[in-house]
């Protein structure tokens, strides 16, 4: 057995293309000239045995992702029955809509564990729509930070705080975009022999996070925007990446520069916004790849 990592959805909220967008990347799809694959919203799946899987975040596109990925589909009915799923757990890294809305698709009285920090557990508990997840089938597990725990058979996990912000729907008049606590977490996943870090949302890389990631074999990291003002410059939004709680890829303060001396063996950008130029071949993608980064895509599988 070895740790298997499956990118179910590589895009940020809205996916690629975004349904109401005519930015350069999305418009290429509407006009039939796309030079790259479509991508669904942020979701990762992990397994150590190929039979039991955990989802990291529940994308609004989860049904589409299951349809596209045989690993996540119902198994042999003669062995497993007419209602079955290999999905044993869903772990949420924050309360963003693109990470929790898919829970409502998973409401058909199927057993799995729902794993969150106490803060995100409270967010879900305060919204009665999530009561559609029948507690007789869905076990809600609240996990403290920096404490290893069994996620599914053969896979342990540890949650750790990364800078981020509360979900958009919980924002008040004043928004702290670099809160460090239970509202935004990264995950270390291990099968006992290999470890993987998954951080789909992150506003900055402080020394403590850099130290944690130094020497890692594989890190899947927030690749939302190439430049902080990308959406403004393209005329499709008014917020910067920092305002949304995301560090940009490029620049002196970006993630590419921050990872330069961390000796990470394999680096993969995930949670990539539809506006990001790294989706297509060009100077931005070339720069990222020259720095040792890979650009995730739906269905990308990595085995350690």
- How many structural domains is the chain composed of? 1
By residue range, what is the domain housing residue 28? 4-75+84-299
Chain CA centroid to CA 208, Å: 21
Quick one: pLDDT at residue 174? 80
Span 137-175, pLDDT tens digits: 999 999 999 999 999 999 999 999 999 998 888 888 788
Quick one: pLDDT at residue 210? 98
DSSP-derived pairing of the beta strands 218-222 and 266-270 = parallel
CATH number of the domain bearing residue 252: 3.60.15.10
Per the structure block, which two tokens stand in for 157? Answer: 């996990």
- Average predicted confidence (pLDDT) for the chain: 96
Residues 278, 223: contact at Cβ < 8 Å?
A: yes
Quick one: pLDDT at residue 98? 95
Sign of CA dihedral 301, 49, 186, 105: positive
Quick one: pLDDT at residue 166? 87
Domain assignment present for 53: yes
Q: How many C-beta atoms surround the C-beta of residue 197 within 10 A? A: 21
Domain assignment present for 127: yes
Question: Which of the residue ranges 11-25, 96-110, 162-176 would you say has the lowest mean pLDDT?
Answer: 162-176
DSSP-derived pairing of the beta strands 218-222 and 195-199 = parallel
Task: Calculate mean pLDDT across residues 102-119.
Answer: 97
User: Is the model's pLDDT at 100 over the cut of 70?
Assistant: yes
User: Is the model's pLDDT at 35 over the cut of 90?
Assistant: no
Confidence of residue 241 (pLDDT cuts 50, 70, 90): confident
Return the closest-CA partner of residue 151 out of 186, 188, 205, 126: 188
User: Is the model's pLDDT at 209 over the cut of 90?
Assistant: yes
Residues 275, 234: contact at Cβ < 8 Å?
A: yes
Quick one: pLDDT at residue 229? 95
Give me the half-sphere count of Cα atoms (radius 13 Å) on the Cβ side of residue 261. Answer: 2
Domain assignment present for 212: yes
Task: Calculate mean pLDDT across residues 71-89.
Answer: 96
Domain assignment present for 304: no
Domain assignment present for 252: yes
Quick one: pLDDT at residue 24? 93
User: Is the model's pLDDT at 8 over the cut of 80?
Assistant: yes
Quick one: pLDDT at residue 97? 96
User: Is the model's pLDDT at 110 over the cut of 90?
Assistant: yes
User: Is the model's pLDDT at 1 over the cut of 70?
Assistant: no
């Amino acid at each position: 057995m070895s740790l298997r990592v499956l990118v179910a959805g590589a895009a940020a909220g809205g996916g690629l293309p975004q349904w109401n967008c005519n930015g350069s990347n999305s418009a290429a799809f509407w006009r039939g000239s796309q030079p790259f694959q479509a991508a669904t919203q942020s979701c990762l799946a992990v397994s150590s045995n190929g039979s039991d899987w955990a989802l990291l975040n529940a994308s609004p596109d989860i049904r589409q992702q299951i349809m596209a990925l045989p690993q996540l589909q119902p198994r042999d009915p003669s062995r497993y029955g007419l209602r079955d799923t290999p999905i044993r757990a869903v772990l949420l890294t924050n309360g963003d809509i693109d990470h929790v809305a898919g829970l409502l698709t998973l409401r058909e009285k199927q057993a799995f564990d729902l794993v969150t920090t106490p803060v995100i557990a409270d967010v879900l508990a305060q919204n009665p729509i999530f009561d559609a997840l029948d507690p007789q089938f869905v076990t809600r597990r609240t996990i403290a930070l920096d404490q290893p725990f069994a996620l599914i058979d053969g896979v342990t996990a540890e949650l750790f705080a990364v800078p981020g912000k509360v979900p958009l729907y919980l924002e008040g008049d004043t928004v702290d975009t670099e809160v460090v606590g239970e509202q935004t977490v990264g995950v270390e996943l291990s099968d006992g022999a290999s470890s993987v870090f998954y951080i789909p949302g992150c506003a900055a890389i402080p020394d403590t996070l850099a130290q944690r990631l130094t020497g890692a074999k594989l890190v899947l990291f927030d690749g939302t925007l190439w430049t902080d003002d990308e959406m403004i410059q393209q005329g499709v939004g008014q917020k910067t990446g920092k305002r949304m709680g995301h560090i940009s890829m490029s620049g002196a303060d970006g993630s590419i520069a921050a990872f330069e001396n961390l000796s990470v063996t394999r680096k993969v950008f995930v949670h990539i916004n539809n506006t990001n130029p790294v989706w297509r071949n060009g100077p931005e993608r070339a720069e990222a790849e020259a720095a040792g980064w890979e650009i995730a895509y739906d269905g990308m599988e990595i085995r350690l």
